[in-house]
Amino acid sequence: MTRAAVLGTGSWGTAFAAVMADATTDTVLWARRPELARAVETDHENPDYLPGVPLPESLRATSDPAEALDRADFVVLAIPSQTLRENLAAWRDLIPRDAVVVSLMKGIELGTTKRMSEVIGEVGDIETDRIAVVSGPNLAKEIAERQPAATVVACSDGAAAERLQTACLTRYFRPYTNTDVVGCELGGAVKNVIALACGMAEGMGFGDNTKASLITRGLAEMSRLGVALGADPLTFAGLAGLGDLSATCTSPLSRNRTVGEQLGRGRTLDEIVGEMRMVAEGVKSSRSILDLAVKHDVDMPITEQVVHVVHDGMTPKDMLGNLMSRDAKAE
């Protein structure tokens, strides 16, 4: 039987572990806190991140990373992006040398501007063809409730992507394979920043025209950056691009959209983040995404204005004013 270790018990890590268990993959979920591992193992529930949502009885849990990683065919990383380097350094000697390492993370590392797959390769000394990413319109609560959804599993080794596809294919979760790791990762990271902008528009009381404009022009920014880094432009018209962008920008379940909405209503970022248990990746990654764009001479005006709001103290009202007053040009 195929065996998977999912490291991280946030909402998405837990939901994806449940998917793999439902796909008859022998799955172990690692929790940092023993009491949370016991709750998953005995009560079949994650009371902290998915309260009230039943988990498969076949899903096992542990707080011992060595136990979780033992003989794993797939090692799934579901931790906050900015903690990956430190955590992976502690786990790398435990990862089986033939395992495919899968990133569920949607961020760009601060300082280095590296994608998560690049950090995995560097810190874990893992070959590119053993690194995969999962990205798509996958709001964790809906997936955990077994609502129908699709996603992309991407790896430079098409055969490895197909093995991962089989390991997470269920009656409600439909993964498509892709070899464009760069495009899938950038789609997952940039959409969080655009969702912050859409949330701000919602919080200020603006309607669907405003949000549709931000989504469409945000997709253009995502595509420009992706092409500059060697991604396939068609990736951004698919699930890992437009699909993920649409879900994250429009759903109240989206953490990044929720943070943006609260900013649009006049609350401070410190107030909002202080009340959140989970991480809104776009807040920190917006800075590294803009740095990446500058490095490659890519124009990303929405991303730039979001950075001014969340890092430099600009008001959402001024942000939208700046975007609307830019020089007119051809689409």
- C-alpha distances (whole Å) from 326 to each of 179, 317, 319, 320, 329 are 37, 15, 11, 10, 9
Q: How far apart are CA 6 and CA 83, in angstroms?
A: 16
Distances (CA, A) of 139 to 29, 114, 199, 213, 314: 19, 24, 16, 22, 29
How would you classify the pairing of strands 173-178 and 3-7?
A: unpaired
| Euclidean distance between CA atoms 50 and 31, whole angstroms | 14
Q: Which of 299, 287, 319, 135 is nearest to 220 (CA)?
A: 299
* Correct CATH for 182-324 of 1.20.1250.20, 3.30.70.2740, 1.20.58.220, 1.10.1040.10: 1.10.1040.10
Question: What stretch(es) of the chain map to CATH 3.40.50.720?
Answer: 3-179
d(CA 66, CA 101): 15
Tokens of 36: 């949370």
In DSSP notation, 88-157 reads: HHHHGGGS-TTPEEEE----B-TTT--BHHHHHHHHHT--GGGEEEEESS--HHHHHTT--EEEEEEESS
Tens of pLDDT, residues 245-284: 999 999 999 999 999 999 999 999 989 988 887 778 889 9
Where do the CATH 1.10.1040.10 domains begin and end in the chain?
Answer: 182-324
pLDDT in tens, 102-152: 999 999 999 999 999 999 999 999 999 999 999 999 999 999 999 999 999
191 noted as active-site residue: yes
Catalytic residue among 106, 191, 211, 284: 191
Which pLDDT does position 275 carry in this prediction? 85
pLDDT score, position 280: 81
Residue segments in the chain with a per-residue pLDDT below the cut of 50: none
pTM as predicted: 0.96
- d(Cα 8, Cα 46) in Å, to the nearest integer? 12
User: CATH topology for 3-179?
Assistant: Rossmann fold (3.40.50)
